[in-house]
Structure formats: structure tokens, C-alpha cells
Amino acid sequence: MMFTLNSIENGTKINKQNIRFWKLYFILVKMENSEQIFSQILLLFDKHKYNFDKYALEILCGLTKASKHFDYNCYQKFQKFFLIIIEKYFLNLDSESSTFWNELFYSLFNGGDLKRSLWCVEFLVDKTLKSIELSPFCQCEILWKLRHAIRSNWKYPMVSKNIREYILENICHSYQKVREIHGILLNYTFISPYGLKSEQVNFDNNYSDLFSFEPIIKQLDEKLSILFDDKKSEMDVVSFKSDLLDPNSDDGKKLLHFIETICLFCKKHDSHSLFEHPGFILILPYLCVIQTNNPIMSQINNAISFIASITYRDEEKIQQVLTTINKLSLNWNWRTRKTILSFLSIFAKSNHFLLIKSKYIDQIEMIIVRLLTDETVEVRTATSTTLSRILENELISGKRLDRLIHLFRSKSSELSSDIANRHGGILGLCSIVYAFPKEIPDFLPEILLFLIDYTRGISVISNSVNEALRFFKKYHIEDWIIHKHKFSAEQLYQLNDVLISPSYYC
């Protein structure tokens, strides 16, 4: 009676009551009459109908949940039947029944000792992932099921290592959905002893090769190391990029797929992972030097932003990041220099509590001052934006800021210096204007009056000044009745004379 059609509901979700019933049944009777029950389950699957599959999997979920109470002989029977089901039906599943199969594998892997289900992991890895006959959909489903097994796996790190080795071998997979799941799984296959308790480490003392990013870094270096070499001209760059990242060539397509998987790896790194892996810092330079018109750039930028937003936990990593930033700020490609500036602005905000030390601020200040006078306008402008955000976070303030103001004014006034140097000084002062949209510090009126003298003249300088003045007017409009008291009558007169609508300040 338990296998009649009346027991098979038409719902679209797994029936938890059915699972609890079958769990209790198998706990009580163990594997008595198992041959009859197993034959009925096979009959349900052989009908190849949606609700019959669902009910068969509900029974198997109950059996799986009850299996932890079996003795050795009963468990061996369960294991043998489970493998038959996987090999015969799971490898031919369709999208409609995918959710039901998720429940079955979740029942097997979740909340128990992986040792009891290690046989299933090995079967999925050895018998299915290595099969070239599997469809991309089936590969996705298998990889997704394995995620349940390894996301909390610390007793058997070799399982994670085997899965990781498979992913690294197929990291340039041609199907985007498979690459996405590869990126997710990589987060659970890199294991660090830092996240383990002392009693857990005793299970396996050889962790050195299980949390190293070396396999990924090695592949990145083989493909992209040439991007760190100086190029003689922009034409040299264009010619080189067209060969390296050409989506129409096999090598270019594989490289783009590889980069995409790495970006997904970064993007999918979340609180479920054991820790913020220091290897992300090693990936950063390779992501920053990639410059292409391919849509993959959006994913690269997201990955860079993620690495920047990580809160690093000790001073050694902070110094490693700053060293990397400094090195990339000297890269031959101006786009790379611009990219690392965006990284710096996010990194400075997310790690403010560690960066407040003078030794770190000195390094940041050195990078900012140098790039403000970069030969490329786009880099100078990006540096100004980064500086304003750093000032907003009060990472640079007090006497250090006073010293920078003096430096920027002196650079701006050096008529004999080149335009880049003078423009850098002006942009430094404009950054200070941008950093205070809701208040007027005591030093700001003098800066505004200084900038007014540069509203006409060399276009690249005057444009920057006029934009900063427009910003100032826009963001101080509501509280101008209060803010104008920060200015003397003479200062207000000069300010009114320059801005587009001087009557506004009257």
C-alpha cells in the first residue's frame, strides 16, 4: 500500500512528511524486506515520470537519513543500492528532477561524518567527472552535489584536493555554467590550517600543498607574465593584446575562460569559506595588468574590488598589499596604474584600522604624490579621486595634510615645471575640495581662493579647477547660510566673482 499511486502527490516540492515516515520505517525495520522495497523504487524510476521520481527520491532520502543507525552489513546493502541508483538514473537526470536529487545528496553529506559517505564522493569523482560522455548539464549537477560534501570538510582534505586537481585540469572549460561552479568549488577546496582547531589538525599534518595557490599562480604566470614587461609604444601594446586575448583564437579563448573562472572564484568567496586566503593578494597583479575590450573586464573589475574589500588580519598582509600596489603603480601600462588606484581607494577604506600607522600612510602618500604627476591625464585624475576618498576616511589629516597642501600649492605655482607637475598640484588641491562635501574646514577657503586663479589658462588645469568649484557650489547650497561665515568678506567677493551664478552667494 505504501507504493500505491495514492501515495504519490502532485506537489512540486519534496514532501518532508514522506521523508520522515520512511526514515522512521528504516530505523525500525532496518533492511528487512529490502529487496522488495528496492525493486519498487526501481519501478518508480523506470516510469520516467516527474512525480514518480519525486516519490522514489523521498523514500531514498528517508533511507539515507536512517542509514546512520545501520550496522555494517545493513549499511553495505544501502551503499550498494545507492550506487546502482546513481549510476543508472542520476547520470540521466533532467532539469525538472534536479531539485529532488539535491535533497538526496544533501541528506547523504550534510551533518554527518564524511567517512560514512566517502564512497559516494569517490564514485562521483572517479566514475563521472572523468567521463567525456557527460553533458555539461550533468557535469554541473555532479559538481553541485559535491559542494555539499566538501564545504565543511576538514577531516579528509585529500577529498578536496582531488576535486581541486580535477577543476584545475579543466579550468578552461568551454561552458560558462560549468566555469561558474568551478569558481564556487575552488573556495571549498583550498584548506588552511589557520581555520582549524588544534585537535582537528591532528588528522593530517601535511597541509602545505592543500592551501597553496601555487597551481593557479603558476598558470597565471605562464600566460600573463609578459604583460609585466615594458613595451616601447602604445602600438606595441595594441598588437600584443590582439594576439594574447583574441577570443577568435583557441589560445585566446582558453585564456579568457581561465581568467573568468578565477574571477568567479574571487566573486563567490564568501562567509562560508574557511578564511580570507592570502593567495588573493598574489592573484591581484595578474588581474590588474589585463586590459581588454572583452566583456570579461566587468568580472575582472569585480574580482579586483572584492580583493580590495577584504579586511586583512595582520600587518604582514597589509605590507604585502602595499608592496603590490606600489609595484603596479610603476607598471608601463597607464590603464594598470589607473586600475590599482581604484583598488587603493577601496583597500584604504576596508583596512583603515590597520593603515593608520605612519609607516603605511607614508607609503600611500608616496604613491599618491607620484601618480598625481603621472604623464597620463587619466591616471592623474584617478589619483585625485583616490586621494579625496582617503581624505574622507581621515587616513591623512592634521600636520600631514598641511604638509601636502603646501606641496600641492608649490607644485601648482612652478611655472617653469611641466604641465603634468602643475596639473598634479592643482588636482591635489581639488581632491581636498571633493573630500569635504558637507563641511568647510578652516584651510578650505584659502584653497578655494588659490584655485580661482587657475579658472582660465591651460585647458586641462582650468577644467579640473572649474569642475571642483562646481562641486563645491552644488554640495554646499543647502547650508550656505552657515558655511559662508567661514569666509571673510573679501574671500566671498572673490568667490562670487568667479562662480557661474554669483548672485546665489549674495
Q: What is the pLDDT of residues 86-135, one digit of tens each?
A: 988 887 777 778 888 999 998 998 866 677 788 888 888 877 666 767 78
Q: Give the H/E segment covering residue 296.
A: helix 296-309
Question: From CA 282, how far away is CA 190, in angstroms rounded?
Answer: 15
Question: From CA 129, how far away is CA 163, in angstroms rounded?
Answer: 9
Structural domain span for residue 139 = 113-193+207-268
Does 90 share its domain with 70? yes
The residue out of 236, 268, 300 marking a domain boundary is 268
Question: What's the pLDDT at 492?
Answer: 87
> Which residues of the chain are modeled with pLDDT < 50?
1, 5-6, 192-207, 232, 271-275, 500, 502-506
The residue out of 110, 144, 163 marking a domain boundary is 110
As given in the structure block, the three cell numbers for residue 402 are 598641511
Question: What's the pLDDT at 450?
Answer: 94
Cβ neighbours, 10 Å, residue 250: 9
Q: Tell me the torsion sign for CA atoms 448, 451, 453, 459.
A: negative
pTM > 0.75: yes or no: yes
Residue 171's closest CA among 59, 258, 60? Answer: 258
Does 79 share its domain with 105? yes
Q: How many domains does the chain have?
A: 2
Question: Per-residue pLDDT tens for 441-468?
Answer: 999 999 999 999 998 888 999 999 999 9
Does 97 share its domain with 150? no
Question: What's the pLDDT at 5?
Answer: 45
Does 57 share its domain with 186? no
Cα 49 to Cα 5, 52, 53, 93: the distances in Å are 12, 5, 6, 11
Question: What's the pLDDT at 196?
Answer: 40
How much is the mean pLDDT over the chain?
Answer: 84
Question: What's the pLDDT at 328?
Answer: 96
CA angle 346, 328, 278 (to 5 degrees): 60
Question: From CA 419, how far away is CA 433, in angstroms rounded?
Answer: 21
Question: From CA 42, how far away is CA 57, in angstroms rounded?
Answer: 11
Question: From CA 209, how far away is CA 215, in angstroms rounded?
Answer: 10
Cα 241 to Cα 8, 131, 270, 307: the distances in Å are 59, 35, 32, 25
Question: Per-residue pLDDT tens for 233-253?
Answer: 555 555 555 568 888 888 889
